Amino acid sequence: MVISEIQTFIPIVLKACVEASKAIMQIYETDFDPSLKTDGSPLTKADLISNSILKKALEQTGIPTIMEEIKNSSFEIRKTWETVWVVDPLDGTKEFIQKNGEFAVCIALVDQNRSILGFIASPVNQEIIFGGTNFQVTVLSFDEIDQPENWKKISPKTEVNNPLKISGSRSHHSGNDLIFNQAIREQFGEVEFQQKGSALKFFDLALGKADVYPRFAPTMEWDIAAGQAIIEALGGIVVNAETNEALTYNKESLYNPHFIVKTKALIDLMNK
Protein backbone atom coordinates (compact mmCIF):
# COMPACT_ATOMS: atom_id res chain seq x y z
CA MET A 1 0.00 0.00 0.00
CA VAL A 2 1.02 3.62 -0.53
CA ILE A 3 2.28 5.33 2.64
CA SER A 4 0.16 8.42 2.05
CA GLU A 5 -2.98 6.28 1.95
CA ILE A 6 -2.06 4.48 5.16
CA GLN A 7 -1.49 7.84 6.87
CA THR A 8 -5.14 8.74 6.27
CA PHE A 9 -6.17 5.64 8.26
CA ILE A 10 -4.26 6.59 11.41
CA PRO A 11 -6.69 9.24 12.78
CA ILE A 12 -9.63 6.95 12.01
CA VAL A 13 -8.10 4.08 13.96
CA LEU A 14 -6.93 6.23 16.88
CA LYS A 15 -10.41 7.71 17.31
CA ALA A 16 -11.96 4.24 17.08
CA CYS A 17 -9.56 2.87 19.72
CA VAL A 18 -10.56 5.63 22.12
CA GLU A 19 -14.29 5.26 21.47
CA ALA A 20 -14.15 1.47 21.87
CA SER A 21 -12.02 1.76 25.01
CA LYS A 22 -14.45 4.16 26.65
CA ALA A 23 -17.36 1.84 25.86
CA ILE A 24 -15.38 -1.08 27.32
CA MET A 25 -14.68 0.85 30.54
CA GLN A 26 -18.35 1.75 30.99
CA ILE A 27 -19.12 -1.96 31.17
CA TYR A 28 -15.97 -2.79 33.17
CA GLU A 29 -17.20 -0.55 35.96
CA THR A 30 -20.51 -2.43 36.26
CA ASP A 31 -21.45 -5.89 37.54
CA PHE A 32 -21.59 -7.55 34.12
CA ASP A 33 -22.33 -11.23 33.44
CA PRO A 34 -19.97 -13.03 31.03
CA SER A 35 -21.11 -15.88 28.80
CA LEU A 36 -19.25 -18.62 26.94
CA LYS A 37 -18.71 -18.95 23.20
CA THR A 38 -18.99 -22.30 21.44
CA ASP A 39 -15.22 -22.86 21.83
CA GLY A 40 -15.49 -22.36 25.59
CA SER A 41 -13.81 -18.95 25.65
CA PRO A 42 -15.48 -16.13 27.57
CA LEU A 43 -17.55 -13.37 26.00
CA THR A 44 -18.87 -10.15 27.49
CA LYS A 45 -21.08 -7.30 26.36
CA ALA A 46 -17.89 -5.23 26.14
CA ASP A 47 -16.46 -7.54 23.44
CA LEU A 48 -19.57 -7.06 21.32
CA ILE A 49 -19.92 -3.30 21.74
CA SER A 50 -16.23 -2.72 21.00
CA ASN A 51 -16.51 -4.99 17.98
CA SER A 52 -19.45 -2.96 16.64
CA ILE A 53 -17.66 0.37 17.13
CA LEU A 54 -14.45 -0.80 15.45
CA LYS A 55 -16.20 -2.50 12.55
CA LYS A 56 -18.17 0.64 11.76
CA ALA A 57 -15.06 2.84 11.95
CA LEU A 58 -12.89 0.59 9.78
CA GLU A 59 -15.59 0.40 7.12
CA GLN A 60 -14.62 4.00 6.32
CA THR A 61 -11.33 2.74 4.89
CA GLY A 62 -12.94 0.40 2.36
CA ILE A 63 -10.69 -2.45 3.55
CA PRO A 64 -12.25 -5.76 4.70
CA THR A 65 -11.83 -7.03 8.25
CA ILE A 66 -10.98 -10.21 10.11
CA MET A 67 -12.37 -9.84 13.63
CA GLU A 68 -12.74 -12.08 16.64
CA GLU A 69 -16.41 -11.43 17.28
CA ILE A 70 -17.88 -11.80 13.78
CA LYS A 71 -18.39 -14.69 11.40
CA ASN A 72 -15.39 -14.14 9.15
CA SER A 73 -15.45 -14.73 5.41
CA SER A 74 -14.35 -18.12 4.09
CA PHE A 75 -10.74 -18.55 3.05
CA GLU A 76 -11.88 -18.80 -0.56
CA ILE A 77 -12.93 -15.18 -0.25
CA ARG A 78 -10.23 -14.00 2.15
CA LYS A 79 -7.34 -15.31 0.03
CA THR A 80 -8.27 -12.78 -2.65
CA TRP A 81 -7.73 -9.89 -0.21
CA GLU A 82 -4.34 -8.21 -0.56
CA THR A 83 -5.04 -5.91 2.38
CA VAL A 84 -7.13 -6.59 5.49
CA TRP A 85 -7.65 -5.28 9.00
CA VAL A 86 -7.08 -7.91 11.71
CA VAL A 87 -8.89 -6.87 14.88
CA ASP A 88 -9.36 -8.01 18.47
CA PRO A 89 -12.00 -5.73 20.01
CA LEU A 90 -11.15 -6.88 23.54
CA ASP A 91 -7.94 -8.85 23.93
CA GLY A 92 -7.72 -10.38 27.38
CA THR A 93 -11.38 -11.06 28.13
CA LYS A 94 -10.36 -13.34 31.02
CA GLU A 95 -8.41 -10.46 32.58
CA PHE A 96 -11.37 -8.14 31.94
CA ILE A 97 -13.66 -10.53 33.82
CA GLN A 98 -11.14 -10.77 36.68
CA LYS A 99 -10.97 -6.95 36.72
CA ASN A 100 -7.19 -6.78 36.87
CA GLY A 101 -6.94 -4.12 34.15
CA GLU A 102 -4.80 -6.21 31.80
CA PHE A 103 -6.81 -6.07 28.58
CA ALA A 104 -6.43 -4.20 25.32
CA VAL A 105 -7.89 -3.24 21.96
CA CYS A 106 -5.77 -4.51 19.04
CA ILE A 107 -5.93 -3.43 15.40
CA ALA A 108 -3.46 -4.41 12.68
CA LEU A 109 -3.27 -3.56 9.01
CA VAL A 110 -2.10 -6.62 7.06
CA ASP A 111 -0.84 -6.25 3.50
CA GLN A 112 0.12 -9.30 1.43
CA ASN A 113 0.00 -11.45 4.57
CA ARG A 114 2.41 -9.24 6.56
CA SER A 115 1.42 -7.00 9.42
CA ILE A 116 2.54 -3.50 8.42
CA LEU A 117 0.84 -1.26 11.00
CA GLY A 118 -0.34 -2.04 14.50
CA PHE A 119 -2.32 -0.24 17.21
CA ILE A 120 -2.70 -1.45 20.81
CA ALA A 121 -4.85 0.55 23.20
CA SER A 122 -5.03 0.16 26.97
CA PRO A 123 -8.51 1.21 28.12
CA VAL A 124 -7.44 1.32 31.77
CA ASN A 125 -4.26 3.36 31.21
CA GLN A 126 -5.93 5.45 28.48
CA GLU A 127 -2.89 5.01 26.28
CA ILE A 128 -2.20 3.85 22.71
CA ILE A 129 0.97 2.54 21.13
CA PHE A 130 1.19 2.27 17.36
CA GLY A 131 3.76 1.85 14.62
CA GLY A 132 4.83 -0.29 11.70
CA THR A 133 6.59 -0.35 8.36
CA ASN A 134 7.66 3.24 7.58
CA PHE A 135 5.91 4.49 10.73
CA GLN A 136 7.97 5.17 13.86
CA VAL A 137 6.56 3.61 17.01
CA THR A 138 4.59 6.21 18.94
CA VAL A 139 2.88 6.37 22.33
CA LEU A 140 0.09 8.81 23.15
CA SER A 141 -2.66 9.28 25.70
CA PHE A 142 -6.31 9.27 24.71
CA ASP A 143 -6.61 13.03 25.20
CA GLU A 144 -3.70 13.62 22.81
CA ILE A 145 -5.10 12.03 19.65
CA ASP A 146 -5.60 15.50 18.14
CA GLN A 147 -2.25 16.78 19.45
CA PRO A 148 0.47 14.99 17.45
CA GLU A 149 3.03 17.48 18.73
CA ASN A 150 2.66 15.79 22.14
CA TRP A 151 3.04 12.22 20.89
CA LYS A 152 6.11 10.39 22.17
CA LYS A 153 8.31 8.73 19.54
CA ILE A 154 9.95 5.49 20.69
CA SER A 155 13.41 4.29 19.66
CA PRO A 156 14.74 0.76 20.20
CA LYS A 157 16.46 0.18 23.51
CA THR A 158 20.17 -0.56 22.96
CA GLU A 159 20.73 -2.93 25.89
CA VAL A 160 18.76 -5.76 27.46
CA ASN A 161 17.59 -5.55 31.03
CA ASN A 162 19.79 -6.82 33.84
CA PRO A 163 18.62 -9.34 34.76
CA LEU A 164 17.07 -10.35 31.42
CA LYS A 165 13.27 -10.04 31.60
CA ILE A 166 11.02 -12.73 30.13
CA SER A 167 7.42 -11.70 29.54
CA GLY A 168 4.73 -14.34 29.84
CA SER A 169 1.00 -14.82 29.89
CA ARG A 170 -0.94 -14.52 33.12
CA SER A 171 -3.62 -17.02 32.09
CA HIS A 172 -1.95 -19.46 29.64
CA HIS A 173 1.08 -21.68 30.27
CA SER A 174 2.67 -24.85 28.90
CA GLY A 175 5.55 -27.19 29.62
CA ASN A 176 7.46 -25.67 26.71
CA ASP A 177 7.58 -22.39 28.59
CA LEU A 178 9.69 -24.06 31.27
CA ILE A 179 12.03 -25.57 28.67
CA PHE A 180 12.48 -22.24 26.90
CA ASN A 181 12.99 -20.34 30.15
CA GLN A 182 15.64 -22.82 31.27
CA ALA A 183 17.48 -22.46 27.95
CA ILE A 184 17.48 -18.67 28.32
CA ARG A 185 18.73 -18.97 31.89
CA GLU A 186 21.59 -21.22 30.77
CA GLN A 187 22.57 -18.73 28.06
CA PHE A 188 22.16 -15.47 29.98
CA GLY A 189 22.29 -16.40 33.66
CA GLU A 190 19.81 -14.82 36.03
CA VAL A 191 16.42 -13.94 34.52
CA GLU A 192 13.31 -12.25 35.80
CA PHE A 193 9.78 -13.27 34.87
CA GLN A 194 6.93 -10.87 34.22
CA GLN A 195 3.34 -12.05 33.93
CA LYS A 196 0.86 -9.86 32.15
CA GLY A 197 -2.40 -10.49 30.35
CA SER A 198 -3.20 -9.63 26.73
CA ALA A 199 -1.24 -7.65 24.16
CA LEU A 200 -0.19 -5.21 26.88
CA LYS A 201 2.99 -7.32 26.93
CA PHE A 202 3.91 -5.56 23.70
CA PHE A 203 3.92 -2.22 25.53
CA ASP A 204 6.62 -3.64 27.82
CA LEU A 205 8.60 -5.13 24.94
CA ALA A 206 8.43 -1.96 22.86
CA LEU A 207 9.42 0.27 25.77
CA GLY A 208 12.33 -1.98 26.77
CA LYS A 209 10.73 -3.19 30.00
CA ALA A 210 10.91 -6.80 28.76
CA ASP A 211 13.32 -8.55 26.39
CA VAL A 212 11.64 -11.71 25.14
CA TYR A 213 8.16 -13.21 25.04
CA PRO A 214 7.77 -16.92 24.24
CA ARG A 215 4.30 -18.28 23.56
CA PHE A 216 3.70 -22.03 23.40
CA ALA A 217 -0.07 -21.94 23.90
CA PRO A 218 -2.80 -21.26 21.31
CA THR A 219 -3.33 -17.73 20.01
CA MET A 220 -5.25 -16.28 17.10
CA GLU A 221 -4.08 -13.87 14.41
CA TRP A 222 -5.90 -10.92 16.01
CA ASP A 223 -4.00 -11.47 19.27
CA ILE A 224 -0.54 -10.87 17.79
CA ALA A 225 -0.73 -9.03 14.45
CA ALA A 226 -0.69 -5.52 15.95
CA GLY A 227 2.16 -6.33 18.29
CA GLN A 228 4.23 -7.80 15.49
CA ALA A 229 4.05 -4.62 13.40
CA ILE A 230 5.16 -2.55 16.40
CA ILE A 231 8.02 -4.84 17.41
CA GLU A 232 9.32 -5.16 13.85
CA ALA A 233 9.27 -1.37 13.49
CA LEU A 234 11.68 -1.34 16.45
CA GLY A 235 14.02 -3.89 14.87
CA GLY A 236 12.70 -6.87 16.80
CA ILE A 237 11.12 -10.08 15.53
CA VAL A 238 8.03 -12.22 16.03
CA VAL A 239 8.85 -15.65 14.64
CA ASN A 240 7.50 -19.18 14.44
CA ALA A 241 9.15 -21.05 17.32
CA GLU A 242 9.91 -24.04 15.07
CA THR A 243 10.87 -22.48 11.73
CA ASN A 244 12.18 -19.08 12.87
CA GLU A 245 10.13 -17.50 10.08
CA ALA A 246 8.13 -14.32 10.66
CA LEU A 247 4.46 -14.88 11.42
CA THR A 248 2.05 -14.26 8.56
CA TYR A 249 -1.64 -13.42 8.53
CA ASN A 250 -4.91 -14.02 6.69
CA LYS A 251 -3.99 -17.69 6.56
CA GLU A 252 -6.49 -20.47 5.93
CA SER A 253 -6.30 -21.27 9.64
CA LEU A 254 -6.50 -18.13 11.77
CA TYR A 255 -4.53 -19.84 14.55
CA ASN A 256 -0.94 -18.73 15.05
CA PRO A 257 1.90 -21.21 15.38
CA HIS A 258 3.82 -21.13 18.66
CA PHE A 259 6.05 -18.09 18.50
CA ILE A 260 8.87 -16.12 20.13
CA VAL A 261 9.13 -12.34 20.32
CA LYS A 262 12.64 -10.88 20.66
CA THR A 263 13.58 -7.24 21.01
CA LYS A 264 16.34 -5.70 18.90
CA ALA A 265 18.56 -5.42 22.00
CA LEU A 266 18.30 -9.15 22.62
CA ILE A 267 18.91 -9.99 18.96
CA ASP A 268 22.03 -7.79 18.94
CA LEU A 269 23.31 -9.42 22.14
CA MET A 270 22.76 -12.93 20.76
CA ASN A 271 24.60 -12.01 17.54
CA LYS A 272 27.73 -10.81 19.36
Q: How does strand 83-91 pair with strand 65-67?
A: parallel
pLDDT of residue 173: 56
Is the pLDDT score of 202 beyond 90? yes
Helix residue ranges per DSSP H, the chain: 3-28, 45-58, 75-78, 93-98, 175-188, 201-206, 221-233, 264-270
Domain boundaries, the chain: 3-153, 164-270
Q: Assign domain 3-153 to a CATH class.
A: alpha beta
- Angle, CA of 5, 10 and 11, to the nearest 5°: 115
pLDDT of residue 36: 78
Residue 100 neighbours by CB distance under 10 Å: 14
The answer to whether 231 and 204 are in contact (CB under 8 A) is no
User: Which residue, among 29, 60, 67, 66, has the nearest Cα to 45 in the 3D structure?
Assistant: 29
Residue-wise pLDDT tens digits, 141-186: 999 999 999 999 999 999 999 999 999 876 555 567 777 888 888 8
Average pLDDT over every residue of 61-78? 94
Residue-wise pLDDT tens digits, 217-266: 899 999 999 999 999 999 999 999 999 999 999 999 999 999 999 999 99
pLDDT of residue 9: 97
> 164-270 has which CATH code?
3.40.190.80
| 238: amino acid identity, one letter | V
Residue-wise pLDDT tens digits, 3-52: 999 999 999 999 999 999 999 999 999 988 888 787 778 888 999 999 99
Residue 92 has phi, psi (to 5 degrees) of: 95, 45
What is the chain's mean pLDDT, rounded?
94
- Give 262's strand partners: 212, 237
The answer to whether 119 and 110 are in contact (CB under 8 A) is no
